Amino acid sequence: MDEARNGTVVTFYSYKGGTGRTMALANVAWILASAGRRVLVADWDLEAPGLPRFFRPFLSTVPAKVPGIIDLVRRFEDEVMPPRGEALHPRRRSDGWVQRLAEPHEYVIPVEWDFGEGSLDLLTAGRQNSSYATTLSQLDWDNFYELGGGQFFDALRENMRREYDYTLIDSRTGFSDVADICTQHLPDVLVDCFTLSDQGIDGAADVARAVGSYAGRRIRILPVAMRVDDAEKVKVDAGRARAMHCFSGLPEHLAEHERLAYFQKVEVPYKAFYAYEEILATFDVPGKPGSLLAAYERLTEVLTGGAVAAMPTMDEHVRTAWQRRFERPVTPERDDVVLHYVARDQVWAEWVESVLVLAGLNVEDPGPVETMPRFQAPQRGKAVLAIVSQDYLTVSVEVPGSWSDPESLAVLVGDVRPRDLSSSVKEVAVVGGLSADEARRRLLALVGIANVGSLTGEVRLARFPESEPQWFQAPARNAMFTGRTSELRTLRQSLRSGSRAVVLPVTLHGMGGIGKSQLALEYVHRFASAYDLVWWINADPRQFIDATLADLAAALHLPTGQTAAAAARSVLENLRRGTTTRRWLLVFDNAVDASSIESFL
């Protein structure tokens, strides 16, 4: 990462749910990133994670499928857990091992928006698979601390402060071990959210007192009243007065008249418009004093000591187009879709899935039809969506049985046209040869969603399959390649990560002549359209690597320095930062072993 930033860790906490805490965090994070700050948001509400929903239109992957906090914690636990039968105690390790295990950037998802000099990353609660609840229930935080968990959280906190200007943590409600981690162990600042009910005020004030007496570090506490409805002005004034009394002395270092001004200024109003969908108020009309956006700007101003006080001006067309993207679409005719496709069209399947999931549908991907030649009809109420290409028409597999069934749909890609299908096909969308925006519109119309906005801005879904990589260098494809469907799918799953960077390297290992390079070459050509940049490197002898990366530096118009090694470092730094693109693939062919290319990873 960059040089140490000495950033700030901020926890958003509420004693009770339903305060609007998560929404406040999401909007403050967006304002900070738009002001040029490097921001991380972390979903520590492990039992009911919901933070990713506010960024759904700007995520190129499904957050529930990406590892996060639980996986980060379990990785540390697995590393330090003693052998069966031994007492719990942290093992001795080499210097820096805790810092390496507490490094969050391998798990984050970038929020895809042009923040200029700023950035916004999301750390999810964890992969929401069938074992998530079991994994969560089995976590013993007392044992975790005995294994060195306190040292782990110290390292995590320092890593977050070093790599980000602001880390905003969405904490679990109530009193719990997880809440204590979020409110006492990790933060520099606690935003203590509460409604003006008695239990909301009392619970939040109790936590503030507990944090204030925490001996580990002085934590700045900012009480913030939420969901304030001015329709009941007398009750609001009484609730505000009681909050000032219960939070006596907070915020610190303010005279009484300054505290009164703070409690009147830093509160979040209730707006019914935002009660139905997870919408970012940062796309609201700017300059309205009583709006949610104005409230979040005032909170951000206090949080940053006046350094960031407002959202930068946004183009009106961009603002309104993206505000529509948050609105819940008219209920689609179908809620569940099962994909049916051949292995060579997996990039199309990934694009179709990303479009439909972001539109609110449930999508099942059982895998290419070659791996399941006997197609199982889905349950009633689910639609089969076939991705039909020339390869699909020629592969000898069983296609969905009744094309006259109204729940059978077809998306035509490549040069396939409706005349190539049976006349019994009732619902078809032709997306081959179209722009990404028009293809997306037709796909959504096929499943019954018509009110969709345009793809204005820098946000990207899965990359549109008809877009070739901007930078490509690799040997020609082997036209005789066949089979290995499961190996290619496993390789794709290994390389297809929702995080900023996959944990490298993904290694193809085996005896000489077994076909490792052929497998990599087929992957490169089959999935080329998923990347902006693909570069094939002969890694033996090692000197070829610097020379090939120097060629890439020239293609990217990067400063090359005096030597090929300097040019290679320039390329690697560019890719690591995601300056030119975040969708890149390097293939180190014929590497003797992973350690021989470690300096290039």
DSSP 178-193: HHHIIIIIS-SEEEEE
Contact by Cβ (8 Å): 367, 322: no
The closest alpha carbon to 189, from 216, 210, 206, 169, belongs to 169
pLDDT in tens, 72-96: 988 888 887 765 555 555 555 656 7
Instruction: Provide CB contacts within 8 A for 582, sequence distance 6+.
Output: 110, 500
584-589: strand order across its sheet: 471-473, 533-538, 584-589
Please give the sequence-ordered ranges of beta strands (E in DSSP) within 27-66, or none if there are none. Answer: 38-43
Contact by Cβ (8 Å): 463, 356: no
Segments in the chain below pLDDT 70: 1-4, 82-95, 215, 328-335, 372-381, 396-407, 419-426, 450-461, 497-504
Contact by Cβ (8 Å): 375, 364: no
What is the model's pLDDT at position 454? 44
Query: What number of other Cβ atoms are within 10 A of residue 165's Cβ?
Result: 22
DSSP 130: T
Written as one letter, the residue type at 496 is R
Contact by Cβ (8 Å): 596, 539: yes
CA distance 212 to 219: 7
pTM of the model: 0.64
What is the model's pLDDT at position 1? 40
Instruction: Provide CB contacts within 8 A for 70, sequence distance 6+.
Output: 46, 125, 126, 127, 132, 135, 136, 139
Contact by Cβ (8 Å): 391, 344: yes
Q: Identify the burial level of 582 via C-beta atoms within 10 angstroms of its C-beta, where 0-12 means exposed, 13-18 middle and 19 or more buried.
A: middle
Query: What number of other Cβ atoms are within 10 A of residue 287's Cβ?
Result: 10
Structure-token pair, residue 106: 């391998």
Backbone angles phi, psi at 541, to 5 degrees: -75, 165
Distances 186 to 115, 182, 183, 570 between C-alpha atoms, Å: 26, 6, 7, 35
Structure-token pair, residue 70: 């639980």
Average pLDDT, the chain: 83
The H or E element spanning position 227 is strand 220-228
CA distance 148 to 507: 32
What is the model's pLDDT at position 403? 45
CA distance 189 to 299: 13
